[in-house]
Amino acid sequence: MKTDEQLYFALGLAQKAGKLASGDLSLTEALKEGRGKYVVIAGDVSSRTEEKITALCQAQQVPFTKRLDMASLGRAIGRAPRAAVVILDENFMKLMV
């Protein structure tokens, strides 16, 4: 597992390369369509949101981790606070695992 700083950097790169989806609708679509490779869930999300995202990940057999907080996750990708992001590329996933 990479450090939070390395994860932060990799998330920013993935966002700039267009290999990341964030936001409830985009994340759900990516997972249901089978495009998701790895999900990062913020450590301070509500239990209901966490259950929803982890259930989707498990149904699609997508690995996930619970790291950072919502503000840091959003800041890493240059957006408002995010509950979770999904990586859409295996190579970027390897940077984070």
Q: Give, for 58, the enclosing helix (H) or strand (E).
A: helix 47-60
Number of C-beta neighbours around residue 87 at 10 A: 28
pLDDT category at 97 given cuts 50, 70, 90 is confident
How far is the C-alpha of 40 from the C-alpha of 64, rounded, in Å?
A: 6
Residues in the chain, overall count: 97
User: Does CATH number 3.30.1330.30 belong to domain 4-96?
Assistant: yes
pTM beyond 0.85: the answer is: yes
- Domain edges within the chain: 4-96
> What's the pLDDT tens digit per position in 46-92?
999 999 999 999 999 999 999 999 999 999 999 999 999 999 999 99
By C-alpha distance, which of 41, 34, 36 is closest to 73?
41
Q: 53 near 27, Cβ under 8 Å? A: yes
